Structure 1
Amino acid sequence: MSDTTPGLVTVFGGSGFVGTQVVRALAKQGWRVKVAVRRPNLAQDLRVNGDVGQIQPVRCDITRPADVEAALKGATAAVNLVGLLFEGPGGKFAKSHIEGARTIAETCAAHGIARFVHISAIGADAGSEAAYGRTKGEAEQAILAALPTATILRPSIVFGAGDGFLNRFASMATLSPALPLIGGGKTKFQPVYVGDVAEAVARAIVSPHAQGKTYELGGPAVWSFKDILTYILRETNRSPILAPIPVFAAATLGRVAGLTAMVGIPPVLTRDQVLMLKVDNVVSPGALGLADLGIEATGLEAIAPSYLWRYRRGGQFAENPRDPETLPA
């Protein structure tokens, strides 16, 4: 089989927001896709993203080597999308990010599977103060030690219908008189469209030139946290104030709010997420990116209005959103 011929690819964690798009992109490219997830009964809807029999959900816990071994049987390529945003009864950062990723990489190496794409994150750094960024960084090291041909993709915050970032703050704006402007809203992001991330996976997995390389995926524009919240308010025609909160105070609030994760309830904010906001989340100068994979980045303004309208005061047929000059400073 040549380096560019699609065969069977195993996608670990392919039922989530990004995973669904990745599975669709790979199926469109001609791959037979095995979607390895903890609850395959909740991933059956993925089958309609390909031809009959092209996409098959299977049960897999990546912290169990036997499960990973079975999921990779017959595969010629693999993608790892498993990641946690917070720790709770469902998993810990170290076990899912590091141990799971290492197990997949070592199993791929043992079976001669050289094509492996791992989704990490901008901000992944083994020396990070935040557990999320630190374990993401350690995972990259473990993967490349086991499988030097692996490709690492590091997206900035990912947007698109169903995202957990714009939707979260838009929802908060419908209920709260204020939105938290942590650290004054100065943290910079480079939002990247989920469709572009999925296409990056599909292109990287068939390109011999991508093997062993790390790509940082960002959109065409850099936004401050304040810019993003202001944009959301404009698109939804909402008027809560933007309340500046010092990082140390937000970290304390995050520690308290994060306690809900211990009983399985997704927290609004965690201390770890606040710590990640202390560092800009943008593509590093000179880093390989979407353009190196032949992808033109899609802007936030081109996509976000298509799903933020549901939070708009008055609904999708309401008057045009307020002029930016009337938004809170």
Structure 2
Amino acid sequence: MTVDTGKTVVVFGGSGFLGRYVTQALAKRGHRIVVACRRPDLAYHLQIAGNIGAIMPIQANLRYPWSVERAVKGADHVINLVGILAESGKQSFDSLQAKGARLIAEAARQEGVNMTQISAIGADPSSNSKYARSKAAGEQAVFEARPDAYVLRPSIIFGPEDEFFNRFAGMSRLSPALPLLGGGKTKFQPIYVADVAEAVAKTVDGEVDGGKVYELGGPEVLTFRQMMEEMLRIIDRKRRFVTIPFSLAGTMANYMQYVPGAPLTPDQVKQLQNDNVVSQEAIDDGRSLEAFGIRPATIDAILPTYLVRFRPQGQFTRPTRHAGGLDPENQDGLV
């Protein structure tokens, strides 16, 4: 049984992918956690992560300020994990990632407590991507309310429930080829979800300086194509690649965006045209994962733990000499 620290941490968006790991990291430290989300019933499974009664789901909606203020009441620290990859109805980038972040930050200021804001590498007020602009607006709103706040910008996050490797691994079971937007040259620095959660927990305990923007990336910088090749190797499948120019991808996304659950939006095409890696400036300033003293996990160590189900015979598949990726004689695939 973990010793209770007596500190109460409110986690907005705690029922999501990153949220469950943040809750676990906080619970291990003995903190009391209030999981604020639109549907508390989706967070009940988190209660077993901590001491009895230490984790309490509560209803909160960023469109209703009173619910946010109620959730923050009595908190010692506030964490905002709320974010979306595509807009849907009233769930827009501006309402959640910009105005929502401001609402939470102002509630934290009124309560007299600090907060941690999860943003994203690429957040930029001058970006042509609405997603990136809204993330930047959220950062600005947080610092205006709490100049000593923590802002963390992770690269693409991977883990058992991710929507990246799981999606493409699932696609590889049905399709003989996988798409590479722009030739798959965009660079990423994938980071394990538990490492991000640990960094968040360290901000709650004040183990790093506040008032800064930290950029978080894993130990490897990989292109989109390299990540696909690694995924295919792990699931022991051979698939060709089809290069889709960004111009064509944008046109396709313009039509697909009106289809519920569309796999690609015009805004995502814009995002994919820029590398998503930790900047040299952040490294030089000590605003990277190294500042947290965390040794990041590699995708090679983690992906097999949850992608095994996508192998031809699941966990019983025996790896072959040239498992996954392309045949050595056909390294270029289809174009």
Q: TM-score, normalised by structure 1?
A: 0.94
- Equivalent residue number for residue 165 of structure 1: 164
Mapped partners of 1:209, 1:81: distance in 2: 19
- Equivalent residue number for residue 318 of structure 2: 319
Mapped partners of 1:37, 1:6: distance in 2: 22
Q: Does 1:28 align with 2:23?
A: no
Deviation at 1:138, TM superposition (A): 1.1
* Distance change >3 Å, CA 316–CA 302, structure 1 → 2: same
- Equivalent residue number for residue 96 of structure 2: 96
AA paired with 1:20? R
Deviation at 1:145, TM superposition (A): 1.1
Q: Does 1:296 align with 2:295?
A: yes
CA contact (8 A) 1:219 1:298 kept: yes
- Equivalent residue number for residue 274 of structure 1: 269
Mapped partners of 1:58, 1:311: distance in 2: 36
1:188-267 equivalences in 2 (<5 Å)? 188-207=187-206, 209-260=208-259, 265-267=260-262
- Equivalent residue number for residue 67 of structure 2: 67
* Distance change >3 Å, CA 66–CA 189, structure 1 → 2: same
Mapped partners of 1:122, 1:165: distance in 2: 16
AA paired with 1:79? I
AA paired with 2:46? L
Deviation at 1:286, TM superposition (A): 3.1
CA contact (8 A) 2:75 2:111 kept: no
Deviation at 1:135, TM superposition (A): 0.6
AA paired with 1:50? G
Deviation at 1:252, TM superposition (A): 1.3
1:32-181 equivalences in 2 (<5 Å)? 32-89=32-89, 91-114=91-114, 116-181=115-180
Deviation at 1:172, TM superposition (A): 0.8
Mapped partners of 2:251, 2:22: distance in 1: 36
Deviation at 1:111, TM superposition (A): 1.4
- Equivalent residue number for residue 7 of structure 2: 7
CA offsets, 1:95-142, max 9 Å, x none? 00011100010111111112x111000011111111111111111111
Q: How many residues are treated as equivalent by the alignment?
A: 320
* Distance change >3 Å, CA 267–CA 6, structure 1 → 2: farther
CA contact (8 A) 2:123 2:135 kept: yes
CA contact (8 A) 1:126 1:137 kept: yes
CA contact (8 A) 1:82 1:96 kept: yes
Secondary structure in 2 matching 1:58:
strand
Secondary structure in 2 matching 1:210:
coil
CA contact (8 A) 1:187 1:225 kept: yes
Q: Which moved more, 1:203-212 or 1:37-46?
A: 203-212
CA contact (8 A) 1:192 1:218 kept: yes
Deviation at 1:311, TM superposition (A): 0.7
Mapped partners of 1:136, 1:198: distance in 2: 19
CA contact (8 A) 1:6 1:29 kept: no
Q: Which moved more, 1:229-238 or 1:129-138?
A: 229-238
Q: Unaligned stretches of 5+ in structure 1?
A: none
Deviation at 1:208, TM superposition (A): 6.2
Q: Which moved more, 1:191-200 or 1:132-141?
A: 132-141
Secondary structure in 2 matching 1:244:
strand
AA paired with 1:161? P
AA paired with 2:165? L
Question: Percentage identity across aligned positions?
Answer: 47
RMSD: 1.4
AA paired with 2:278? V
Mapped partners of 1:28, 1:36: distance in 2: 19
Mapped partners of 2:124, 2:321: distance in 1: 40
* Distance change >3 Å, CA 209–CA 195, structure 1 → 2: closer
Deviation at 1:326, TM superposition (A): 2.2
Secondary structure in 1 matching 2:117:
strand
Deviation at 1:325, TM superposition (A): 6.4
